[in-house]
Chains A and B, each alone.
Chain A
Amino acid sequence: MAQVSIIADEQTSLSSSKSITLRISRYNPKHDDSSIFTEFIIPYEKWTTVLDAILEVKKYFDHSVAVRYSCRQASCGSCGMMINGKPRLACFTKISELNSNVITVEPMNNFPIIRDLAVKFERMFESHHKIKPYLIRDDTELESDAKEFLQSPKEVEQYIQFANCIKCGLCNSACPTMATDSSFVGPQALAQAYRYVADSRDKGKDSRLKIIDESHGIWRCHFAGSCSQVCPKGVDPAMGIQLLRGYLLGFRS
């Protein structure tokens, strides 16, 4: 935080009785040695989200702020960032719920920075791809006589919360192991491994368990539980990891 620039007198003309100071981390790895914070005074209403405030900055103050976003409704998982020190989705975090007059936004931890608030997802997607995130079986619904692979509500319950993952990376950002172990597969991929292992239609359990049963796999989780705490979709990766360990230790089959 070498330099702070304040743009206090350039408030937008939007009518609002309340305003916050939005501190945005600025960093371009191509030519910056360290990040700096730029501050903006932004008016807000009770429904204004942090993403709205950042887009306000881009619209009226500084269009060069780099931020990734898309759906603006917590479905695409693009706008994950550190908001007041905690990994959150900017589109899913209302300014009014933060109870602070100063909001600091930084790029997610444990991800390489592209620029400002945008980070690279390559490692997470590689890990996700590695655990084979699809149903593995020899037949298909198209060829089978049954046409559908029916499941009971109880069978669906086994994995359905893990199917809500939007690959936003907040869990990986909050994970303390990810911070030190660059080869760790991460809570996102492990939760997805459980999602398919627990699916009664899937036949790829053994191959998936073999993939995560390596020196930087499932056993490096210390069960800090921070992944589950930050998930905006209510997925509990920490529980998924413990249930997966049950398979590997022979408590589940």
Chain B
Amino acid sequence: MGHDHKLEIFRGLWKFKSNVTKIWGVFFFLCVVTAVEVVLGIVKPESLVHGRFLAMKYLNWIFIILTLVKAYYITWDFMHMRDETKGLRRSVVWTAVFLICYLILILLIEGDYIYEVYKANYVKFNF
């Protein structure tokens, strides 16, 4: 079980000779992604902070997409999801992704709605 590893990432763009070198390769990639996030978080480029897509700043889109990229490689290569059967992969990933997307959608819309209610003075702060 698990002895035969798939030794390529980025859809075959980067191939490794052994499982150990693949682990270091993925580690290097995760470090680069984290470094990009940290640099963007410190610099906060003006153009990315002010532009918005679907009511969210470009910068935040970048952060969230990079986070999902990191999550993918941690699950696929560190947790060996790449080497598991399709059935196991899908029952874990699809279930979680579906439920989490649903939860986030509902809660964020609701939170924003309450913010608008507060702001429109249906409820008054004593401030």
Our verdict on whether A and B bind, yes or no, reads no
